[in-house]
Chain A
């Protein structure tokens, strides 16, 4: 059983579409991270959440602690958003980390 489940695994969208990537987890957490891995391999941390909602540009991340679920939304998607998006959680006991397997997003012009 995976502690972190992401969906979908692969996603293809037309430029301009609204995109949602989901993350569910089964452990108690102190924080949830959304990471973006570029086609070149570099990894960037997009958000760190422990409650509520955060917005940065066209990216919005929400978390529902009771439901153990987080979503990453991309508004007005663009080809440069094409990347792998990874959900990661830090547990609130023992500071362990668990990772989703990632969502590969391709935005077509």
Chain B
């Protein structure tokens, strides 16, 4: 199993640009999570999906952030327009139904907005 695959590994963009982060969960996992990690706030859950449906997006910072999961094998996190304070490492994780399985994390995308 290839594990959770995130792309890109690094993204550097200018303020105001649109950024799209991608995640491919482990096959058979029906829960997918997007996290953000910063020095100031640590690890934060942004949104998670069960069976491709967003369940809790209360962690999404503001309307500039949006996440989609069009099918069981792909999810995107989009920031439009990006701002310097969005600079962070964004992790995607997948698991079997919440409360029943390990969280399997991708390697993360390090985003720098200048």
Residues of A within 8 A of B (CB): 30-31, 33, 35, 41-45, 48, 50, 86, 88, 90, 92, 94-97, 99-102
Nearest CB on B from A33, distance (A): 6
Stretch at the interface among B21-29, B37-45, B71-79: B37-45
Max chain A CB contacts within 10 Å: which of B89, B91, B98, B110?
B98
Nearest CB on A from B50, distance (A): 8
Per the bound structure, the CA–CA distance linking A101 and B43 in Å amounts to 7
Residue of A nearest to B89 (CB): A41
Which of A44, A94, A95 is within 8 Å of B105, CB to CB? A44
Per the bound structure, the CA–CA distance linking A100 and B43 in Å amounts to 8
Number of A-B contacts (CB under 8 A): 57
Q: Chain B interface secondary structure, helix, strand, loop or mixed?
A: strand
Would B104 and A101 count as touching, CB distance under 8 A? no
**Pairs across A and B, CB under 8 Å, 12 listed:** A31-B98, A33-B102, A33-B103, A35-B43, A35-B103, A42-B105, A48-B102, A48-B103, A86-B42, A94-B56, A95-B48, A102-B42
Residues of B within 8 A of A90 (CB): 98-99
Residues of A within 8 A of B104 (CB): 45
Per the bound structure, the CA–CA distance linking A83 and B108 in Å amounts to 17
